[in-house]
Amino acid sequence: MKCAPFEYVRAGSVEEVVKVLGEAGGDGKILAGGQSLVPVLALRMARPSVLVDVNRIPGLSAIRPVDGAIEVGALVRHSRLVEQQHHPLLAEAATWIGHTAIRTRGTTGGSIAHADPSAELPVVAAGTAAQITVAGPAGQRTVPAEELFVSALMTSLEDDEMIVRVRFPQPTRWGFAEFSRRHGDFALVTAVVAEIDGAVRVTLGGVGAVPVRATEAERVLAGGGSAADAARAASAEIEPTADLHGTVPFRRAIAAEMVRRALATAGID
């Protein structure tokens, strides 16, 4: 199939994007890497009246260290996340995103805004307590990652807002583990372990409509429990759903193993 007709706007600034989206009245979409949007348009699962191309907006492709974190512009491609050395957890997670062509085109802001519960970057964002800077008609505001993700493929962004950058805190210790049928496939379960400000955070992807903090597992670790105990606690507290890829017990078992591996990578026994 082919896309339904739409008006194409090549924006030159963030302000222009916000203006065009506002005039579209909720019927506009942002085009960056297009790795999620274009297939949806081709299948006519979405029929926006306006498509706003943001690829030529200056200032959205920078990566810079800031106060124990890195700020990643919305247009930073996944391949650059793999190459950067400021944030090893982010680099490791980005290697698991799709295949070379997808990593070359896909963008950080696009992945966060798409809010796929199986995607790597939303889990890392939630797992590291990332802060997302959003531009809208009233200017810019900052949204914690855990407040941005509302449900599968849904965020708290307004129709006339866009992500301009994401600040990922740098964990003192970290671990990442993912299970998929083949490398590059959608993750069935992802586990992110990040020590932020002395506290270990355990976050899972693919087991709910949004990235899920395994708070019971965190309490086990804070109380001096072992990684094995924490992995079992994480498996018990999640509420995954069965689908074509696996039953609930299967996903619980995989979640426990991914948490164990991520904790091992972080040096937590």
**Predicted TM-score of the model (pTM):** 0.96
Nearest to 220 by CA among 263, 164, 176: 263
Q: Which fold has domain 63-169?
A: 3.30.465
CA 62 to chain centre: 18
Domain with CATH 3.30.390.50 in the chain: 174-265
Q: How far apart are the C-alpha atoms of 104 and 100, rounded to whole Å? A: 6
Q: What is the pLDDT of residue 1?
A: 67
Segment 15-65, tens digit of pLDDT:
999 999 999 999 999 999 999 999 999 999 999 999 999 999 999 999 999
The C-alpha angle with vertex 133 and arms to 77 and 206, in degrees rounded to 5, equals 60
Dig out the tokens for 227 from the structure.
Answer: 């990684």
CA distance 113 to 237: 27
Q: What is the pLDDT of residue 184?
A: 86
Q: What is the pLDDT of residue 156?
A: 98
Strand partners, 89: none
Q: Domain 174-265 belongs to what topology? A: Enolase-like; domain 1 (3.30.390)
Give the burial class of 254: count Cβ atoms within 10 A of its Cβ; 0-12 exposed, 13-18 middle, 19 or more buried: buried
Q: Work out the number of other CB atoms within 10 angstroms of the CB of residue 78.
A: 27
pLDDT band at 3 (very low <50, low <70, confident <90, very high): very high
Is residue 154 within 8 A of residue 174, CB to CB? The reply is no
Q: Where in the chain is the domain with CATH 3.30.465.10?
A: 63-169
Q: What pLDDT, in 10s, does the model give residues 92-134?
A: 999 999 999 999 999 999 999 999 999 999 999 999 999 999 9
CATH 3.30.43.10 maps onto the chain at 7-53
**What is the longest distance spanned by two Cα atoms in the chain?**
59
Q: Which fold has domain 7-53?
A: 3.30.43
